[in-house]
C-alpha cells in the first residue's frame, strides 16, 4: 500500500542529514495534514544524535502552491493559523540548519514554510510570491518573516503587490541564496562542504545564539498578526468576498470595507 503521509522522511549521509519531502504533487498544498506531519517529523528528528542538517524539498514540478484556501475561511482560519505558526516556530528553533530546495511554484504558505528554513536553493524555473492580497487577505507569517529575509522595502513590494518573482530576482533580493540547475544537489553539496564536518552540538548552540532575538520577536509578532487577521481582517466584507470569489473561480468585487 502506498504511503498515505503527505511528507516523506529519510536519514541520509550516515544519519548526519534528514531529508523531508513534501509528497502531495503537483500542488503540495501545505494544509493541516502537512503541518501535522511536519511537526511530528521535526519533533522526532530534533532528538537525533549527530544530526547536522535537514534538506526540505518536494516531489513533482512545484515546491508548493501554498496553503489550503478552504482552511482560510472564517470557521477554520484560527485553527489553521495557530497550527501553521507553531510549525514555523519549530522550524526556526530546530537544532540543525534547514536547507530548502525549491523547484517551480513556491507561493503563499509554501513560501512561508521555505522562509522558516535556512538557505534557499532555487531551480532556474523557481517562482516565489505571496499572492494573498489578490484574495483580499494578507500573509500573516510572511509579514513577519519576509523583512528578515529581504529588506523592508522589498518585503512590502512583494507583500502588497502579490506579484511573483523568478529565481534571479529572488537571488538579487536575498530571498534565495543559490540558483542551480539541480537545487537538491546544490543543497547537498553545500551541506557536505560546510556542515558535515561540524559538531552537531556546536551547530545547535550556534543556531540558538544567532536566532535568539529573532525567535523572541517572531513569536511575539506571530501572536500579533494572528489577532489582526482574526479580529479585524476576517470581519471585513472584502476579505470574505475575496476568498469566496477564489473558490467560485470568479473575479472579486471589492467594496473597500
| Domain boundary assignment for the chain | 7-182
Mean pLDDT score, 130-155: 97
Pairing of strands 17-22, 98-102: unpaired
Q: Which class in CATH covers the domain with range 7-182?
A: alpha beta
Side-chain-side CA neighbours of residue 254 (13 Å):
8
3-class DSSP assignment, residue 40: helix
Give one DSSP letter per residue of 163-206, joined into a string.
Answer: -EEEHHHHHHHTS-SEEESSHHHHHHHHHHHHTTTS-HHHHHHH
Give mean pLDDT, residues 224-242: 97
| Residue-level pLDDT at 99 | 98
> Is residue 24 scored above 80 in pLDDT?
yes
Is 207:162 a contact under the CB 8 Å cutoff?
no
With a pLDDT cut of 70, the percent of the chain lying above it is 99
Tens digits of residue pLDDT in 32-84: 999 999 999 999 999 999 999 999 999 999 999 999 888 888 888 999 999 99
pTM attached to this predicted model: 0.96
pLDDT at 2 over 70: no
95-140 tens-digit pLDDT: 999 999 999 999 999 999 999 999 999 999 999 999 999 999 999 9
All cell numbers assigned to 52: 547536522
Distance in angstroms between the alpha carbons of the first and the last residue of the chain: 50
Is the pLDDT reported for residue 163 higher than 60? yes
Cell of 171: 537571488
At residue 3, the pLDDT reads: 52
Q: Average pLDDT over the chain, rounded to whole? A: 96
Amino acid at each position: 500500500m502506498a504511503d498515505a503521509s503527505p511528507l516523506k522522511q529519510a536519514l541520509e549521509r550516515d544519519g548526519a542529514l534528514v531529508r523531508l519531502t513534501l509528497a502531495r504533487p503537483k500542488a503540495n498544498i501545505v494544509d493541516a495534514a502537512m503541518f501535522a506531519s511536519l511537526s511530528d517529523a521535526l519533533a522526532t528528528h530534533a532528538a537525533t544524535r549527530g544530526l547536522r542538517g535537514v534538506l526540505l524539498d518536494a516531489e513533482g514540478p512545484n515546491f508548493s502552491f501554498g496553503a489550503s484556501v478552504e482552511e482560510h475561511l472564517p470557521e477554520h482560519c484560527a485553527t489553521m493559523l495557530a497550527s501553521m505558526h507553531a510549525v514555523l516556530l519549530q522550524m526556526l528553533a530546530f537544532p540543525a540548519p534547514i536547507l530548502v530546495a525549491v523547484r517551480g511554484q513556491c507561493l503563499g504558505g509554501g513560501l512561508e514554510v521555505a522562509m522558516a528554513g535556512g538557505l534557499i536553493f532555487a531551480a532556474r524555473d523557481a517562482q516565489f510570491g505571496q499572492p494573498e492580497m489578490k484574495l483580499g487577505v494578507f500573509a500573516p507569517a510572511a509579514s513577519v518573516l519576509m523583512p528578515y529575509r529581504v529588506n523592508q522595502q522589498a518585503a512590502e513590494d512583494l507583500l502588497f503587490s502579490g506579484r511573483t518573482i523568478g529565481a534571479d530576482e529572488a537571488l538579487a533580493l536575498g530571498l534565495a541564496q543559490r540558483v542551480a540547475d539541480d537545487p537538491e544537489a546544490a543543497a547537498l553539496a553545500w551541506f557536505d562542504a560546510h556542515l558535515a564536518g561540524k559538531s552537531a552540538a556546536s551547530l545547535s548552540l550556534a543556531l540558538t545564539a544567532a536566532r535568539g532575538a529573532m525567535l523572541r520577536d517572531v513569536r511575539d509578532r506571530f501572536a500579533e498578526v494572528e489577532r489582526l487577521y482574526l479580529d479585524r481582517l476576517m470581519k471585513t466584507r472584502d476579505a470574505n468576498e475575496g476568498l469566496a470569489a477564489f473558490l467560485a473561480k470568479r473575479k472579486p468585487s471589492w467594496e473597500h470595507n
